[in-house]
Amino acid sequence: MLEVWSWPTPNGHKVHIAVEELGIPYKLVPVNIGKGEQFRPEFLAITPNHRIPAIVDPEGPGGKPLSLFESGAILIYLAEKHGRLIPRDPAARYTCLQWLMFQMGGVGPMFGQYGHFHNYAPEDVPYAKTRYANEVRRLHGVLEKRLAQAKYLAGEEYSIADIATFPWLRFPERRGIDFNEFPSVKRWFATIEARPAVQRGVAILADNQRRGTMTDAEREVLFGATQFAKR
């Protein structure tokens, strides 16, 4: 059975939503990143980058086991293996991959840095706060333009590009964003949020979601010496 090594973060939710959408039976292996479980040897054997999500498919290409990390690669793999959530038409397929890469290289990293400097940095760094707030707003503007022209990011079809982007756009108020300023993003978000598989996906491990401030121990694991130790 497919193993999903994960935790309830936006990158984890992408894979939770995909397996729910595709109806794939899977075994969930929780990796508590606040407690440092991402540094355990069994997880490092799957991903040298010690980040969730990762998967192990015992029935990979050629019937051989395949392990994968990087949520974008996982989404492409699952969609192609199951023949859904990625358009078949070549032009639409590349458009889907384009928006998936836009999420992986833009939305994810920039929103992540916004969160870091607004919520976790031990000192106030106004330049970084402003820079990432501007980027978050700019990226919403890019999505708004696209979604004013197309129903979904890839075009007419719901795809892994939407699945990758949706979890990062949840709770916009936490990033100083009001969806009323981005009406097409608001329409798209409500459509995706209403999907039963998406609701099941974001509920996975939800009881473990961090509430309130980070503890010193979590801070050390995520941003201190433990994070940067040579492995």
- Interacting residue ranges for ligand GSH, rule: CB under 6 A: 9-11, 33, 38, 50-53, 70-71, 108, 222, 227
The nearer residue to ligand GSH, 106 or 108, going by C-beta atoms, is: 108
Sign of the dihedral through C-alpha 94, 96, 99, 103: negative
3-state SS assignment for residue 85: coil
Q: What is the dihedral of CA 57, 59, 63, 64, to 10 degrees?
A: 30
With beta carbons less than 8 A apart as the criterion, state whether 186 and 179 touch. yes
3-state SS assignment for residue 6: strand
The nearer residue to ligand GSH, 54 or 155, going by C-beta atoms, is: 54
* Nearest distance, CB of residue 180 and ligand GSH, angstroms: 28
* Nearest distance, CB of residue 16 and ligand GSH, angstroms: 12
Residues 6+ apart with CB under 8 A from 56: 2, 3, 5, 46, 65, 66, 67
* Nearest distance, CB of residue 50 and ligand GSH, angstroms: 6
The nearer residue to ligand GSH, 50 or 175, going by C-beta atoms, is: 50
* Nearest distance, CB of residue 21 and ligand GSH, angstroms: 18
The nearer residue to ligand GSH, 94 or 120, going by C-beta atoms, is: 120
The nearer residue to ligand GSH, 68 or 182, going by C-beta atoms, is: 68
What string of DSSP letters covers 173-227?
GGGT--GGGSHHHHHHHHHHHT-HHHHHHHHTTGGGS--SSPPHHHHHHHHSHHH
Identity of the residue numbered 222: L
* Nearest distance, CB of residue 222 and ligand GSH, angstroms: 5
